[in-house]
Structure 1
C-alpha cells in the first residue's frame, strides 16, 4: 500500500507537471509593422515604435494579400470584419475588411482588439445593409449580431489568399503569431498590404 508521504509526493509531482503544461501552452499574439526582410523560414518586421522583431515562418504559415476596396463591394451575405469603436450600437467603424469566399469564418464573432483602446473586432455575415451617409450594416455571427455605421473615408480592404513572395521590404503587415514556452515566435497568419495598403486588422 502506498504510504501517505508517497501519495503526497505523487500529487505534488502531478501538480508540477500540470503547471508546466499550462505554461508551455502556446499563446497567440498580434504584431503590426512593416517588413524589413523575409526569408524562407524567417520574417523580420519593424514595429511602429521603431524596434524590430523576428519570428519563424514554417510550412504552416499562411499569407494573405490585402488590397484596397470600397464600400460598394459590401453586399448582402458578404463576410466582413469591422474594427469598431466603443459606444452604443450602431458603433462607429474604424476599418472594414472583406473576405474572399475561401476565408469566410475568419475570427468570427466579436472580441476586444488591440489597434487602439476600447476597440473591438467583429466578424460575420452581412445580415442588414442600409445605404446612406454613413452606410449602416449589421453583422450576424454564431453568438449574436452587431450593428455599425461606416462614415465616409473609412478604410475598406479586401483579404484573399496570397504567397510569401508578397512579403517585400516596406510592405505593411499584421502578423498573428504564437509564442511557445521557449519564448520563440512562430508566424501563423500574415496579412500583407499590396501597393501601399495597410491591413485593417
Structure 2
C-alpha cells in the first residue's frame, strides 16, 4: 500500500449466514432479458442463444446501479473480476461494491467465467490508496489480494432488488444450477438499472 493507504482492518468479519455460497455446479449466465413471468426469466446471451431460468422463493435478486471507484470506502465490501495482466499481475476488469446486507457474498477467490482465465475475488477492505490508479487490498478468510484498478474500470453498486426490475432489454447476470432434467434454476439474478452492467 502507498503512504495514503488506509490501515488494514484488525480482522475481517465473518460472512453472514445469508451470503450465497454456490458450489462448483453453479453456472454463470450473462445476457439481456427477453421476457419474464412470475416464475421465470428468458435471457438472450451474447452469442444469440436463449436460456429460460426458473426463479423460486429462494432465488436472490440484486440490482446493479452505476458506481464509481471513489465510492470504495474503508468499510466497503467489494468484489473484483480480474484477468492475468501482461506483467503477470491480476488486471481488474469489473468492480462491484455491495450494500451492507450483502457483505460476505462470494468471500474468497475463485475461477469465474466472465472472461477467459478470469477470477472473482471478494472481501473486505484491508488497504485502500486514495491516489489514481486506485490500489485496493481485499481481505477474506484465509488470505488477501491486492489490485491496482485502472481508471474507467466498470463499477457498480449492488443491493437487494426485485422481479419488477426484470424488464425486456435489461442486462442481467444469473448464477444458476441445471438439474438432471436440464432445467435451469436460479440461485441469484442480478439486473442492471438504467443501462448499468451487473459487474459480476
TM-score (norm 1): 0.84
Structure 1 residue aligned with 2:7 = none
Superposed displacement of residue 134, structure 1: 0.8
Aligned positions of 1:14-53 closer than 5 A? 27-53=25-51
User: Distance in 1 between the 2:76 and 2:84 partners?
Assistant: 24
SS in structure 1 at match of 2:164 = helix
- Measured against aligned partners, the alpha-carbon deviations of 1:113-171 in whole angstroms (never above 9, x if no partner) come to 11111111000001000122211010000020000011111111000001000000000
When the two chains are superposed, the root-mean-square deviation of aligned CA atoms in Å is: 1.6
Report deviation, 1:90: 5.5
- How many residue pairs match? The answer is 177
Are the equivalent residues in 2 in contact too, given 1:26–1:178 (CA < 8 A)? no
- For residue 27 of structure 1, report the CA deviation from its aligned partner: 2.5
Larger Rg: 1
Aligned-partner Cα distance in 2 for 1:89–1:148: 12
Q: Which runs of 4+ in 1 moved over 3 A?
A: 87-90
Q: Are residue 182 (structure 1) and residue 186 (structure 2) matched?
A: no
CA distance in 1, matches of 2:53, 2:146: 36
C-alpha distance in 2 between matches for 1:195 and 1:121: 24
Whether the 8 Å contact between 1:26 and 1:179 is mirrored in structure 2 is no
1:72 maps onto 2:70 in alignment: yes
Distance in structure 2 (CA, Å) of the matches to 1:196 and 1:137:
26
Quickly say closer, same or farther: Cα 1:72–1:89, change in 2 above 3 A: farther
Structure 1: gaps of 5 or more residues: 1-24
Q: Which residues of structure 2 form unaligned runs of 5+? A: 1-22
Query: Equivalents in 1 of 2:192, 2:151: separation in Å?
Result: 21
Partner of 1:136: 135
Q: Determine the C-alpha separation between the residues in 1 that align with 2:187 and 2:156.
A: 21
Q: Distance in 2 between matches of 1:125 and 1:195?
A: 27
